[in-house]
């Protein structure tokens, strides 16, 4: 099946540092999403991107939908301990079964106080 | 409160003993889905349902069954569990079918098959 390449696989950073992670695909997708999974919980949507080239912010988080519709990045500025978790990118196209989400393998973020 | 609930949250069982993990949502969502999460593999879709009595296979359906008799419930059935089904399972739901709707996840069910 289709795959998303998400990198890095894991990150260990100091509190206050900025974080950057990205996601690429060999296929074009119309929707790119970023989810965060806190330890012991289900994933929660952080940012949704629907337009190629779109740059969207949510507090300290910024994500961009690549112009080729084959990639996206997520940046976290001034990290804090509660940023710890697994970040997943996900993609889909519109309509019917194409609305199924395909997930990347996740980036595990650890933040040292 | 709008939510997706799963039961049980933790389960230890033995090979071959049938089990059911329940999933319920109170948001009147048409779309529901089951995923399993394994280290290094991310979230993989097991089955999904676009509406009542409409179900279809995801990427890893082998060894699982589902049913959608009511809109709010989407149970996952393991008729004869095996150790390779030890995993963390998530149910999710979404309003509508298109990829533009936010998908909500349950809290997860951690299953250990001995």
Which residue on chain A is closest to B5 by alpha carbon? A42
Interchain proximity B99–A43, CB inside 8 Å: no
Please name the residues in contact with A36: beta carbons below 8 A apart, sequence gap of 6 or more: A43, A44, A46, A85, A86, A87, A88
HEC letters along A65-110: ECCCCCEEEEEECCCCHHHCEEEEEEEECCCHHHHCCEECCCEEEE
Query: How many cross-chain Cβ pairs, A to B, lie less than 8 Å apart?
Result: 66
In chain B, what residues touch A94 (CB-CB under 8 Å)?
Answer: 98-100
Q: How far is B103 from chain A (nearest CA, A)?
A: 8
Mean pLDDT of A81-99: 82
- How do residues B76-98 score in pLDDT, each as one tens digit? 999 999 999 999 999 999 987 65
8 Å CB contact of B42 and A30 = no
A37, A43, B21, B25, B91 from B105: Cα distances, Å: 10, 6, 15, 10, 6
Q: What is the pLDDT of residues B20-73, one digit of tens each?
A: 999 999 999 999 999 999 998 999 999 999 999 999 999 999 999 999 999 999
Closest partner residue to A104 (CB to CB) among B42, B56, B98 is B42
Q: Is B54 in the A-facing interface, judged by CB distances under 8 Å?
A: no
Task: Give the tens place of pLDDT for each residue, A28-67.
Answer: 998 899 999 998 899 999 999 989 999 999 999 999 999 9
């Amino acid at each position: 099946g289709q795959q998303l390449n998400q990198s890095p696989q894991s990150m260990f950073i100091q509190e206050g540092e900025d974080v950057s992670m990205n996601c690429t695909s060999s296929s074009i997708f119309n929707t790119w999403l970023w989810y965060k999974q806190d330890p012991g919980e289900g994933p929660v949507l952080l940012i949704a991107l629907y337009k190629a080239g779109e740059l969207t912010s949510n507090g300290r988080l910024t994500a961009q939908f690549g112009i080729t519709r084959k990639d996206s990045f997520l940046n976290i500025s001034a990290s804090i301990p509660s940023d710890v978790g697994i970040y997943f990118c996900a993609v889909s196209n519109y309509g019917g079964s194409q609305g199924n989400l395909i997930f990347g393998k996740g980036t595990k973020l650890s933040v040292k106080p | 409160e709008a939510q997706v609930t799963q039961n049980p949250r933790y389960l230890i069982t033995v090979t071959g003993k049938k089990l059911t993990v329940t999933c319920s949502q109170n948001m009147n969502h048409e779309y529901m889905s089951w995923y399993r999460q394994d280290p290094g593999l991310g979230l993989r879709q097991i089955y999904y349902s676009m509406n009542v009595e409409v179900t279809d296979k995801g990427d890893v359906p082998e060894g699982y069954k589902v049913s959608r008799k009511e809109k709010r419930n989407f149970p996952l059935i393991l008729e004869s569990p095996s150790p390779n089904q030890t995993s963390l399972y998530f149910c999710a739901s979404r309003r509508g079918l298109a990829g533009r709707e936010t998908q909500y996840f349950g809290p997860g069910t951690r299953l250990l098959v001995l």
